[in-house]
Amino acid sequence: MRYLPLTAADRQAMLATCGVDTIRELYSGVADSAWHDGLFKDLPLGLNEWQTELAVRQLADQNQTVGQLASFCGAGAYRHHVPAAVDHLIQRGEFLTSYTPYQPEISQGTLQYLFEFQTMVARLTGMDVANASMYDGSTACAEAVTMANRITGRNKALLSGQLHPHYAAVVQSMARWTGVELTLAEPDPLNTEELIGQITPDLSCVVVQYPSFFGHLNDYSRLAKACQAAGVLLVVAVSEIVALGLLKSPGSMGADIVVAEGQSLGNGLNFGGPYVGLFATRANYVRQMPGRLVGETVDTNGQRGFVLTLVAREQHIRRDKATSNICTNSGLCALAFTIHLSLLGEQGLRRLAALNHAAASDMVQQLMKQRHEFGKISVCNQTYFNEFLLDLGQPAEPLVERWAAKGLLAGVPLSRLYPHQPKLANHLLVAATELTQQHHKDQFYQALKEIC
């Protein structure tokens, strides 16, 4: 068999080298109850190639995707149009199979697009410097907290109650094993949270989200000044990067570290990944920044070139002495982000952001204008970008399940993300993008009217 290259004699020679006679002896540490002899009766026998393709296709056809349904799901993963040019270009062999080697200067093309990626992220976030990508927004957020600890020499962090619960959970997982003391504020769907009064001199950082997980827009300038006065770093997380095409940048508000999820540009939903984390900071903190950093230089002939800079070549295997133990990056996803943003340009990004806000704004205005038809349903936001929160006046999750069966993905019920917060059971997080059509909105409005 072509996939089983070893003969029985080969296996016996390998067992003899290990000092055992049988496979069972080799795995003697495995309990007898875990062993199974013979075939599994509920699994089919081997299929040929075309039969396998047919079986897998039949399984796949049972799925329904957001592209087939009216979808208002967001909550950190957003459906946007990805130009065909993006996939066409990233599937070129020199991009699709490339990986930064141990002598990275050989890969000038890879380093150049990562340098361009860093430049774009720095400009979007309003920061001085950005790295060559992280795994995703949540892990970038955890890395920001550990970076703040290194800079300040403290190990306490305050997380806003409006931070994405998945981001908070990843930070908590990291903190459990690194000894970081976390204070997690209560979730605040009405945007009444006041963090300035909770700043103490023993904090390393305060972590907020912009726009907030519940869709609110906040100017963190006052919070940034209060943090600065106490020697505390302000970390701003952005889960919808398209918002920065229209909103004031976190850097201009005084953020010290900005982390973000870049999925919205160039990367489809992909069943939850892979995504691309963005990480930017101020120049004076650059040596404490995790991950890789590509710099521009000139070679001995005076030609423009690119290098990995300000980091020891093997720093990622130095365990606790490293700024991080990220051993790779989301390079192909970062390239897709870079191509998409290059195609848009500054004006295109602003227009895309404006279309997103207009889609959500149209829905909010319609809900408020026909308030008498929607009964006890209310909008919780005074400000928003392309996502807003509804209070349905009754538990949201069973309604969402019922609507999904009819082809409507109405949004994300907060009870799924906050199962131990009964006060949030009636809330539904709704997102609209440039792909939200009028007939999708009409289907959404009709569903709401039916429950009233």
| pLDDT tens digits, one per residue of 35-78 | 888 888 887 788 889 999 998 999 999 988 888 899 999 999 99
Whether residue 37 lies inside any domain: the answer is: no
What are 89's two structure tokens?
A: 């270009």
357-401 pLDDT, tens digit each: 999 999 999 999 988 888 889 999 999 999 999 999 999 999 999
Q: Residue-wise over 93-120: b if at least 16 C-beta within 10 A, else e?
A: eebeebebeeebeebeebbebbbbbbeb
Domain identity same for 321 and 444: no
Domain identity same for 223 and 288: yes
CA distances from 14 to 2, 7, 23, 30, 224 (A): 20, 11, 10, 20, 63
Domain identity same for 318 and 368: no
Domain identity same for 286 and 353: no
In a structure prediction context, what are the per-residue pLDDT tens digits for the chain, which is 452 residues long?
566 788 889 999 999 999 999 989 999 999 989 988 888 888 778 888 999 999 899 999 998 888 889 999 999 999 999 999 999 999 998 888 876 666 777 888 889 999 999 999 999 999 999 999 899 999 999 999 999 999 999 999 999 999 999 999 999 999 998 889 999 999 999 999 999 999 999 999 999 999 999 999 999 999 999 999 999 999 999 999 999 999 999 999 999 999 999 999 999 999 888 999 999 999 999 999 998 899 999 989 999 999 888 866 555 566 667 777 676 678 899 999 999 999 999 999 999 999 999 999 999 999 999 888 888 899 999 999 999 999 999 999 999 999 999 999 999 999 999 999 999 999 999 999 999 999 999 999 999 999 88
Domain identity same for 289 and 426: no
Domain identity same for 415 and 283: no
**pTM assigned to the model:** 0.88
Domain identity same for 237 and 168: yes
Domain containing 160 equals 84-340
Give the CATH number for residue 109: 3.40.640.10
Furthest-apart CA atoms within the chain: distance in Å: 81
What are 245's two structure tokens?
A: 């095409």
What is the rounded distance in angstroms from the CA atom of residue 169 to the CA atom of residue 183? 12
Domain identity same for 280 and 266: yes
Whether residue 3 lies inside any domain: the answer is: no
Q: Are strands 387-391 and 408-409 parallel, antiparallel or unpaired?
A: unpaired
Owner of token pair 């340098």 = 115
What is the rounded distance in angstroms from the CA atom of residue 283 to the CA atom of residue 363? 41
Domain boundary among 340, 369, 387: 340
User: Number of folded domains in the chain?
Assistant: 2
What is the rounded distance in angstroms from the CA atom of residue 450 to the CA atom of residue 163? 33
Domain identity same for 289 and 361: no
User: Smallest Cα–Cα separation from 105: which of 313, 344, 268, 250?
Assistant: 313
CA distances from 438 to 260, 367, 434 (A): 30, 14, 11
